[in-house]
Structures are given as C-alpha cells and as structure tokens.
Amino acid sequence: MIYSKIKGCGSYLPEKILTNSDLELTLDTTDEWITSRTGIKKRHIIAKDQLTSDLAFEAAKNAIKDANLQPNDIDLIIVATTTPDKVFPSTACILQKKLKIKECPAFDIQAVCSGFIYALSIADKFIKTNSAKNVLVVGADAMSRITDYSDRSNAILWGDGSGAVILSSSNKEGILSTHIHAQGEYEDLLHVTKKEQAGVFKETIDMRGNQVFKMAVNTLDMIVDETLSSNKLAKEDIDWVVPHQANIRILEATAKKLNMSMDKVIVTIDEQGNTSAASIPLALDYGIKEKKIKSGHLILMEAFGGGFTWGSALIRI
C-alpha cells in the first residue's frame, strides 16, 4: 500500500517582532489583557520589501534540505495562502521559479487558517494515486498586510510566517486520514472587507470574535470525534496534538476534549500569534526540532478558519 509520509519539514519567521508592549503604545490595551484572552505575547511581521513567496521560499528551502532532497526532486508544489503575491500567477508558481524547479505542477489553495490541512489532503491524494512522489506543501501568510491596526480586537491576533513539509511516497504508515469541511453560510462572521482608512479603502480582516470562538470550539470537537471514529482509535492513542494556533483557549478546549494534558499540545501562539495557514507547519517543525515529536508518534492536526472551513489530519511520524 502507498502511504504519504512526511520526509522533511522547515519553517521561517520574519525578523521584525511586534510585542504586546508595542501595541500598548497605539491601542487601548495591555499586555495582561492580550495574554489572558489569547495567549499571545508577540508576533513576527513581514518586512516592507518581502512578499509571501519570500516567506514560502525560506521555509521550502529548509524543508527540502531536511528531507535530504534537491529542489528538482519535487514533482508537485501546493501553497496554502490567504495573502498571495499577486492575483495571478499563483504564489506556488512564483515559489517554483525561486526554487529553480522546472515544469512540475504548482498551484495555490485558499481555505484561510485551514489551508494547510486542505493542501495536505490534496497532496495525500496525489501520492496515493501514484500521481506524485515528492510534494512540497507550504503554508505561508502575511496577515499583517490585511490587518487593521486601529481595531483592537484584530490587531492583537495576527502574525506572519511560513512552514513547509515534504510529503513523499512510502510503504510505511504516514497520513492515516484527512477530513475537510466548509460551511459558507457563516461567511460574514470572519471575512475580509474594504474599510476606509485616511480616505483610502483597504482590504482588512473583519471578525465577530465571540461567535467565531463558539463555532470553532464546537466544530473542532466534532472533527476530533470524526477523526478518531474513522480510524477506530481512542483518545489515549494520540501522542500529540498539533493545532492551528488561533487562541490559547481553543487549544485548551481541544486538549480537554481529548482528556489530554496541555503538555501534549504543541503551542507556539505565545511567540508567533495567529499565522493562519502557516501555523500548523510552523508548530510541527517546532515540535520536531525541539525533539518533542519523535518517529512513530501519532499526531492529530486540526484547524478552523474563515469560510467557515475546518479540517483534520491524523499522521504517523
């Protein structure tokens, strides 16, 4: 049987850091208020001369090196992003150019914070149908570019970064299952809209936080049940949860659902904020590099994002 197995991973965070103390200077907020409600202490911000593809390029290079491959060993590139460089071509095509890879298919997918799970699910199908051998899957977002920094409820949340994995064909267990969903009727609860700022209309994130929080917790409860049931597993079979880093309270709710200590949940939100599609691969790379997640461990990834979209992946490392 053909499995999709993670062969390498990599990440990249921009140099500039925006702390809660920095936000205190421009917003009616405090470090204590932000930390207690979100778990976030700081976030990384893309440089003015950087693009999303630059973030993706750095993470992709690290993942390819970690997998002991060369760029031209990659035969498919999928980039999950909400903040593409351009309307077209895709950020994946621009990344392909930067990596100097010739001719392999390359495309973007957009499922906001669930984007990496969606991309992983697509890549898994390509490998299991023998349509690709080594797939570069990237989550990259520059959320600061669509953040309204006069809106306290939004400005405190978002960060920029990129994470990547190499998914390769294997005869050993890797991705056991993926589950993806969407419910477009809730579009207006979390979306990008045009707002006027100093006489200029800019596209920025608009979110009804309390309603999104409730939906996220309930929906992630359901996706955990679906994933375990599909694989005939019990909660105690999971070694690690690698969740989308949206809010520490959501992470704690997922841990409670699994009767799991937070010590078994990979948490990066305090240092990175919500990096949307980048947050799961960033957390995965952190967990592996810190020698928390080890070969043979069973990990559950789960995410919830605008759309609404949500999804999970159960993976043997």
Q: How many domains does the chain have?
A: 2
Q: Side chain identity at 24, as an amino acid letter?
A: E
Which residue out of 113, 134, 154, 179 is catalytically annotated? 113
Which residue out of 9, 179, 244, 247 is catalytically annotated? 244
Listed residues 113, 142, 171: the one ending a domain: 171
Residue 298: what pLDDT? 98
CB–CB of 310/219 below 8 Å? yes
Listed residues 171, 189, 205: the one ending a domain: 171
Residue 29: what pLDDT? 95
Q: Are both 167 and 39 inside the same structural domain?
A: yes
Decide if 44 is catalytic: no
Q: Are both 226 and 167 inside the same structural domain?
A: no
Residue recorded with tokens 């907020």 = 29
CA distance 14 to 124: 29
Q: Are both 33 and 87 inside the same structural domain?
A: yes
Which residue out of 62, 134, 154, 274 is catalytically annotated? 274
Residues of the chain with pLDDT under 50: none
Residue 94: what pLDDT? 98
Q: Are both 8 and 143 inside the same structural domain?
A: yes
Residue 220's contacts (CB-CB under 8 Å, 6 or more residues apart) are 243, 250, 253, 254, 257, 302, 304, 310
CA distance 31 to 54: 30
pTM of the complete model beyond 0.95: yes
The model's pLDDT over 41-70, given as tens digits with 9 standing for 90+, comes to 999 999 999 999 999 999 999 999 999 999
Q: Are both 164 and 212 inside the same structural domain?
A: no
CA distance 239 to 131: 31
Decide if 9 is catalytic: no
Residue 199: what pLDDT? 73
Residue 167: what pLDDT? 98
Q: Are both 260 and 125 inside the same structural domain?
A: no
Q: Are both 165 and 263 inside the same structural domain?
A: no
Residue 180: what pLDDT? 98
Q: Are both 159 and 249 inside the same structural domain?
A: no
Q: Are both 184 and 222 inside the same structural domain?
A: yes
Residue 258: what pLDDT? 94
Q: Are both 86 and 114 inside the same structural domain?
A: yes
Q: Are both 109 and 238 inside the same structural domain?
A: no
Tell me the residue range of the domain where 276 lies. 176-316
Residue 309: what pLDDT? 98
CATH of residue 198's domain is: 3.40.47.10
Decide if 113 is catalytic: yes
Residue 201: what pLDDT? 78
Residue 80: what pLDDT? 99
Q: Are both 28 and 161 inside the same structural domain?
A: yes
**CB-side neighbour CA atoms (13 Å) of 27:** 20
Residue 209: what pLDDT? 87
Listed residues 171, 189, 212: the one ending a domain: 171
